[in-house]
Structure 1
Amino acid sequence: MNRIFSIIVSFGILTMCFLPWTLAAHLMLSFGSEETPLMKALQHYGSEVVVQKMIAEGKAGSLEPGAGYDGPIHYTIPNLRNSTKFMPILNQLIDAGADVNEFDRSGPPLLDAAFANDTEVIKFLIKRGADVDRQNCYGETALMKASQTGHAEALIELLNSGANKNIRSRDGTTALDKAKTERIKGLLNGTQH
């Protein structure tokens, strides 16, 4: 009887300790995980023609941030980046109402582009209205991402677009503090070009 009671108590303690974590994990995995028609087309067909037709006909589903786990801009960039229709589709999405500053689990798309050193996408997003100093949930900016990854091309593009190098992340660091190389430090200090 004591053994059964001990097992029940142990189970109760474990349940109380891990239930919040289990619930949190479930919510994180299921929150917004519903695929929009656009996401399904990108994932299953991978055809820019299908995607363009869906957008033109208003059948892409919600283009609002939070529609699905990733917003339409975040979802389109990795799925169609190598397509010749990539930029026209991004333009079409933004013209149809997709937010160039949409926020997903990694922050706005500009941070992802800086992390990937994709200067073409950086230029495009800024031209279409991306906030060059928009921060992710850790307070990091695209400039900080370019700095910590050592991507000089992205860093130069962001600085030329007016990125603020003095913004501090939640941990109190700036892009200069996160600089991966001496060249990046020099670019941020204005001693290198």
Structure 2
Amino acid sequence: MGSMYTAVLFIRIENVASVQPVVAIKRTIFYRERAAGMYSALPYTFAQVAFNVPYILVQTLIYSVIVYAMIAFEWTVAKFFWTVFFMFFTLLYFTYYEMMAVGITPNHDIAAIVSSAFYVIWNLFAGFLIPRLRIPIWWRWLYWACPVAWTLYGMVVSQFGDLETPMEENGVTVKVFTEDYFGFKHSFLGAVAGAIIGFTVLFATIFAFSIKVLNFQRR
């Protein structure tokens, strides 16, 4: 689980450094081209969103093959597919989140500040530093609102949630341990996948709406 958490954390850092400045520059160009009547906001945002899909898919496949083999996960078609699925949509929603942050703020410097504030909360409530069952009940809603928590839930339960192998220390099976300690249930895997897709669509939609409605252009 630590390797999974580190991988997601690395993806976040890489996206912050590469996505926001580029999106901010493209938005400035978009203002000029929209004023010239070249195209409207929706085709622009659709192109921005669609452009990232094939690039991230190739990146995910290369990453998944290397890391999956190095960590020595179980080589089954289903488990490898789930790893690719969760890494692909995690890369997507991080990318779209950075695009959204730029879209709702005047420039990428302010976007970086806003993103960092949310990243602190996401790290705390991702379910790695503090498992969900140990988070106070009145703060647990932040766990369910954290996309990183859903990613870790899906990646852990898809790899270990169905293992009946007993653990050496106490004889409890891996499946029972993930349910009792982390609260991860293998039967919830489909809902987790749906939530990951939902976060991706949500961030992309807010980005499109912000580009269409907000205008930070200075004349």
TM-score, structure 2 as length reference: 0.25
- Rg larger in 1 or in 2? 1
- What is the TM-score with the length of structure 1 in the denominator? 0.28
Which structure is higher in helix share? 2
